[in-house]
Chains A and B, each alone.
Chain A
């Protein structure tokens, strides 16, 4: 055996069977030079294997470090994307909120302008009619810039004493801007200490100012005019017998139709009673209070011959007052209520349940 024996390679590469390996070892150990050579080769091979293992460990460690870094980077990317989206969302939300507030403010101003315009327009429309009736009555008291209460005039022949110039009563008449608590302009325009006057109560801006009613001889229905019916006068003039609008009239004229015919003979007791009564005028203030859910009415006595009513939470500005029999009824939008007229008291409005009365009221 020498150093070039091919069995040495086979032995080092563990390619021998166990028996062959043991036999070879015994033979090799007998020759010190060969055995030392084999041992040195084994020493190098084990060193190479250690180096290979270390290299593989380095590979694993490096790759895992890369994986962690990549994972961290990708996580960072996702976090960055998420953060960007959140910032964008918040930014858009804030922008939208500001825009919405700005639009709302513009809307309030626009609405205010529109209300003012509508009010002026309504007044301008009403004004000629009032002027006409006024001139017919020989009364030229209405100026162009005068706020007029929308009184319904049925018979202008005797309306001079009844037609009342709208009282500039700030308790009753409120600017549309007054409805908007955020509007300082509204307060300035009203010239009121808003909070002091009405506290937390919203005053409905424009709806009812003064209503004069009288009894209808035929239908027994006395209806009230509102500012939304500027042609009430014409209607009333054309037919006092109309069941809806019976305008304001003098004490005795209610017994006559538009043609001046005396219809008292056809009247019912209620009518007769009405004829003896003074016509009622109502000053209605609409108010709201958050803690009140149902509509309430407060009768505050009389001022300038008008019954002062305060309606809480009417929920509408479309209001009519009817007199049917001995009862007064109040229409708020599409709902009908009994109208108790008890001075100095507040009462919940009780809905009209009687179908017969309802039908009459709806006519």
Chain B
């Protein structure tokens, strides 16, 4: 508890901090910033390197390693086993996405970083559930961040449209926009001659996806009906 208060005070001095509250557990979001403590181990560095290389198997190792820790947290905070699995998977996906962002640098222990993501993920999930039950109101911060409250985008349309794409197109788009691979790697992975060919192919695939969506859906389908 003292450590948490210390973190709060420390963050307060920095003039900006975000604090999530869940029962008696405070989570300092600053932990999610990968510049908190230069304390990562050699193993952490290796894991980050494997993620940079696009080795998805590393997530399986991390899953096994942190399953108990994250599951316990979820189970002890109103969650069930399915919730724990979801949180664990979401945490690893978030880790993957974060690490693969340009200029990412892990400066805290990976376990700390993962646990912070997991706690945050679960808190958001709990908050979402409470809000759906009418127990929580949307905060001012959320209102400020969201220009279209009540008109959230339905991204499932895109995902459904992607099913109609060729596998190669789908892979190229995911590798570029989700994984963040460079065009050279994408070209190599998809049997394309060069990075420029891959870039052209990516542009072509995105156009193809746009055509499918516009052909199958109208503009009103792009938004979730939050009243229902």
Chain A residues with CB under 8 Å of chain B are: 40-41, 43-57, 59-61, 63-64, 67
Contact = CB atoms under 8 A, between A and B. Distances in A.
6 contacts: A52-B178, A53-B178, A56-B56, A56-B178, A60-B89, A67-B64
A64 B59 CA distance: 10
Contact of A60 (B59, B155, B179, B209): B59
B186 interface: no
Given A53-B97, A57-B90, A46 B63 contact: no
Interface stretch (B19-27, B28-36, B134-142, B157-165): B157-165
Q: Which of A43, A46, A52, A60 has the most CB of B within 10 A?
A: A52
A53 B93 contact: yes
Interface size class of B (residues with CB under 8 A): 20 to 34
B59 A56 contact: yes
Contacts of A52: 174, 177-179
A10 to B, nearest CB: 13
B93 A44 contact: no
Contacts of B159: 47, 50-51, 54
B198 interface: no
B192 interface: no
B177 A40 contact: no
Contacts of A55: 174, 178
A47 B158 contact: yes
Contacts of B177: 45, 48-49, 52
B96 A48 contact: no
A357 to B, nearest CB: 83
B162 A48 contact: yes
Contacts of A46: 153, 155, 158
B92 interface: yes
Given A44-B210, A47-B156, A60-B63, 5 more contacts: A48-B178, A52-B177, A56-B92, A61-B85, A61-B89
Interface string B203-228: 00010011001000000001000000
A233 B57 CA distance: 98
Contact of A50 (B96, B155, B179, B222): B155
A148 to B, nearest CB: 88
A310 to B, nearest CB: 76
**At the interface, is chain A mostly helix, strand, loop or mixed?**
helix
A43 B155 contact: yes
Contacts of B161: 47
A242 to B, nearest CB: 91
A53 B94 CA distance: 8
A168 to B, nearest CB: 85
A40 B210 contact: yes
A44 to B, nearest CB: 5
Contacts of A61: 85, 89
A218 B57 CA distance: 104
A40 B219 CA distance: 10
B64 A43 contact: no
Contacts of B173: 48
Given A44-B213, A51-B162, A60 B92 contact: yes
Contacts of A49: 97, 177-178
Interface in B59-108: 59-60, 63-64, 85, 89-90, 92-93, 96-97
Contacts of B157: 47
A53 B210 CA distance: 20
B89 A51 contact: no
Contacts of A43: 153, 155, 158, 222
A343 to B, nearest CB: 86
A64 B174 contact: no
A173 B25 CA distance: 93
A128 to B, nearest CB: 91
